[in-house]
Amino acid sequence: MFDLFGTLVDAPTPAERTRAADRLSYAIDCPSRAVENYFRSTWHVRHDGTLPTVPELAEHLLRAVGGPARAHGRVENELRALGRTRLEPDATVVRTLNRLRDNGLRLGVLSDATAEIADTWHGSPLSAVIDTGTV
């Protein structure tokens, strides 16, 4: 059983978090600082399963930053794009996981990942080499 962030993929850096906030603030048409504050103040609710789908997460974000409802689709799309980006493992990780499977081990992942990660998991390179998991 593996943890996802910091093990199979890198945990986001502060610079990556800032870029994500910038991308989302552009989609919403709000200040980037508002999205950064949202990320900081809502960590628990975004990671504890309270917001299990991308539409719910997008709605929660829009309400928190006072964004317009018309931005909902753009925010969902941006969240999914960010999720896909976060799930790009280093090639050595995939090779190592394949070797472990070739040696008869069943592999799993357990994570408190947010909705956009769970939503994009099945399209990630990792999903092909992990036997079971809860993301």
Q: Are residues 57 and 97 in the same domain?
A: no
Structural domain range at position 28: 14-86
Q: Are residues 23 and 77 in the same domain?
A: yes
Count Cα neighbours of 25 within 13 Å in the Cβ-side half-sphere.
16
Q: Are residues 79 and 27 in the same domain?
A: yes
The residue among 86, 102, 122 that closes a domain is 86
- Number of structural domains the chain divides into: 2
Q: Are residues 55 and 72 in the same domain?
A: yes
Determine contact, residues 27/71, Cβ cutoff 8 Å.
yes
What are residue 113's phi and psi, to 5 degrees?
A: -60, 155
Distances (CA, A) of 129 to 99, 109, 125, 132: 10, 10, 7, 9
Residue 132 bridge partners (DSSP): 108
Name the one residue in this structure whose structure tokens are 């502060």: 14
Instruction: Give residue-wise pLDDT tens across range 20-67.
Output: 999 999 999 999 999 999 999 999 999 999 999 999 999 999 999 999
Which two three-digit tokens encode residue 15? 């610079």
What mean pLDDT is reported for the chain? 94
